[in-house]
């Protein structure tokens, strides 16, 4: 695994990547200081992955789809989350399969941004072209299809705001 980490675009200090984590296209992946990526994580680099400082990616989380992911500092991602940066769409009658010629497919690739202090509960699914605002929480099993306002608590499928949380006190 050490050789794979050497191929990363950038690797911060005190980063812990467990040996059973899988990073595909590591040359477009940046990992910030103090971040931990547990076993059984799958990250597909796609158009780029930039992980901030002191993030935690819990087991069985995946980053898939070939788009772009940016997480700012202090982001927590609980077990089983799916960060989908790209997906197939039926478009104008295209087929929905990655195994057919590209001209017969309609693929939507985008960017997911998790701003500072975001927390995703277990098994949250985030779709392409979504920004989750600073300090927002998404409860377990939430499905995120559109942007989420900062410092809100969101649950459901699709998610809806059910409350707010206090801002983090800077030290």
Residue 108 and residue 65 in contact, taking contact as beta carbons nearer than 8 Å:
no
Largest CA distance in the chain: 54
User: 39, 44, 40, 70: which is closest to 55 by C-alpha?
Assistant: 70
pLDDT tens digit at each of 171 positions of the chain:
444 778 999 999 999 999 999 999 999 999 999 999 999 999 999 999 999 999 999 999 999 999 999 999 999 999 999 999 999 888 888 888 888 888 888 889 999 999 999 999 999 999 999 999 999 999 999 999 999 999 999 999 999 999 999 998 877
φ, ψ dihedrals at 28, nearest 5°: -115, 15
Residue 54 and residue 34 in contact, taking contact as beta carbons nearer than 8 Å:
yes
What pLDDT sits at residue 1? Answer: 46
What pLDDT sits at residue 78? Answer: 98
Burial environment of residue 137 by CB neighbours within 10 A (0 to 12, 13 to 18, 19 or more): buried
What pLDDT sits at residue 6? Answer: 81
What pLDDT sits at residue 46? Answer: 96
Bond from prior residue into 158 cis (ω within 30 degrees of 0): yes
């Amino acid at each position: 695994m050490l050789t794979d980490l050497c191929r990363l675009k950038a690797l911060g200090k005190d980063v812990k990547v467990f040996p059973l984590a899988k990073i595909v296209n590591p040359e477009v992946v940046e990992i910030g200081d103090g971040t931990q990526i547990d076993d059984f994580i799958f990250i597909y680099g796609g158009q780029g992955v930039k992980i901030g400082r002191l993030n935690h990616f819990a087991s069985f989380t995946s980053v898939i789809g070939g788009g772009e992911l940016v997480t700012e500092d202090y982001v927590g991602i609980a077990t089983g989350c799916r960060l989908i940066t790209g997906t197939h769409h039926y478009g104008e009658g295209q087929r929905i399969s990655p195994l057919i010629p590209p001209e017969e497919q309609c693929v939507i690739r985008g960017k997911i941004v998790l701003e500072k202090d975001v927390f995703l509960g277990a098994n949250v699914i985030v779709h392409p072209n979504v920004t989750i605002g600073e300090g927002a929480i998404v409860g377990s099993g939430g499905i995120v299809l559109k942007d989420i306002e900062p410092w809100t608590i969101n649950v459901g499928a699709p998610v809806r705001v059910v409350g707010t949380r206090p801002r983090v006190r800077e030290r």
